[in-house]
Chains A and B, each alone.
Chain A
Amino acid sequence: EDMQSKLSRFFSKN
């Protein structure tokens, strides 16, 4: 089963 990733993996907090 694929694991749902989070946006924080791709986008950094400003």
Chain B
Amino acid sequence: MFEARLVQSSILKKVLEAIKDLLNEATFDCSDSGIQLQAMDNSHVSLVSMNLRSDGFDKYRCDRNISMGMNLGSMTKILKCAANEDVVTMKAQDNADTVTFVFESPNQEKVSDYEMKLMNLDQEHLGIPETEYACVVRLPAGEFARICRDLSQFGESVVISCTKEGVKFSSAGDIGSANIKLAQTSNVDKEELAVTVEMQEPVTLTFASRYLNSFTKATSLSNVVQLSMSPDVPLVVEYRIGEIGHIRYYLAPKIED
């Protein structure tokens, strides 16, 4: 028996919002430590890795590890039936072929349950090597979303260049070119407004803007986004999910041929 209860259904709604552009389906791997998801987009250029820890749920029970193949379009439709303030419970019998979502209104006057068929998805897990990144940038998630959106109007690639002064985002195309430079903030009163750069060595990498824009669908989950870069390895874009977990997006760089 698997059962996970979350008081804030909005977290699950935002998680689906954050992954449904990139992925059509994904396997939710549930164990007693929590729910994990790892899936590449169809082009195998980007990967989503999500983790929701069991101690972040109000109630969590997982008698035996269970992998639930979810159609994310269907799951999105079901989660749209939950009000933001509803309590959501996901539950499934061991080796079940369906999962049930129960939404309870705060005053318990309305209880809805939705049963969704599960899919048999082949599990292709990638080994992601632990990496000491040359540059780790933290900036306001809204700022990053704005930069990606603005620059994607100029070209289909964004060059991210990180030095100890700060980070520069550039794009060029038919209409011209654009550069956005963010300096490290010195003393900001609020942590989530800071731009910080931890640099071991300067890095400049090129990425496809459309993937960066897909990643920013996770902006509603966190005030801060973290970008980790090293020469010739995928970019990592990480959003924390409250106190319960994180979503990490990996993006393969564009390389001069």
Q: Which residues of A contact B (CB under 8 A)?
A: 1-14
Residue in chain A with minimal CB distance to B129: A11
The docked-state distance in angstroms from the alpha carbon of A14 to that of B123 is 10
Partner of A5, one of B40, B128, B254: B254
Q: Cβ of B253 < 8 Å from any Cβ of A? A: yes
Q: Cβ of B147 < 8 Å from any Cβ of A? A: no
Given contacts A14-B125, A14-B126, contact A7 B40 (CB under 8 A): yes
Given contacts A2-B206, A4-B45, A4-B208, contact A11 B127 (CB under 8 A): yes
Q: Cβ of B257 < 8 Å from any Cβ of A? A: yes
Q: Which residues of B contact A (CB under 8 A)?
A: 40, 43-47, 124-129, 157, 206, 208, 233-234, 250, 252-257
Nearest Cβ on chain A to B138's Cβ, whole angstroms: 23
Q: Using Cβ atoms and an 8 Å threshold, which residues of chain A touch B253? A: 5
Q: B252 and A3: CB pair below 8 A?
A: no
Q: A3 and B125: CB pair below 8 A?
A: no
The docked-state distance in angstroms from the alpha carbon of A8 to that of B43 is 11
The docked-state distance in angstroms from the alpha carbon of A8 to that of B124 is 11
Partner of B255, one of A3, A8, A12, A13: A3
The docked-state distance in angstroms from the alpha carbon of A7 to that of B233 is 9
Q: Using Cβ atoms and an 8 Å threshold, which residues of chain A touch B234? A: 7, 10-11
Q: A7 and B127: CB pair below 8 A?
A: no
Q: Using Cβ atoms and an 8 Å threshold, which residues of chain B touch A9? A: 252
Q: A4 and B125: CB pair below 8 A?
A: no
Q: Using Cβ atoms and an 8 Å threshold, which residues of chain B touch A12? A: 126-127
The docked-state distance in angstroms from the alpha carbon of A3 to that of B124 is 25
Residue in chain A with minimal CB distance to B257: A3
Q: A7 and B206: CB pair below 8 A?
A: no
Q: A7 and B252: CB pair below 8 A?
A: yes
The docked-state distance in angstroms from the alpha carbon of A9 to that of B255 is 12
Residue in chain B with minimal CB distance to A7: B252
Residue in chain B with minimal CB distance to A8: B44
Nearest Cβ on chain A to B173's Cβ, whole angstroms: 11
Residue in chain A with minimal CB distance to B252: A5
Q: Using Cβ atoms and an 8 Å threshold, which residues of chain B touch A5? A: 45, 252-255
Nearest Cβ on chain B to A2's Cβ, whole angstroms: 4
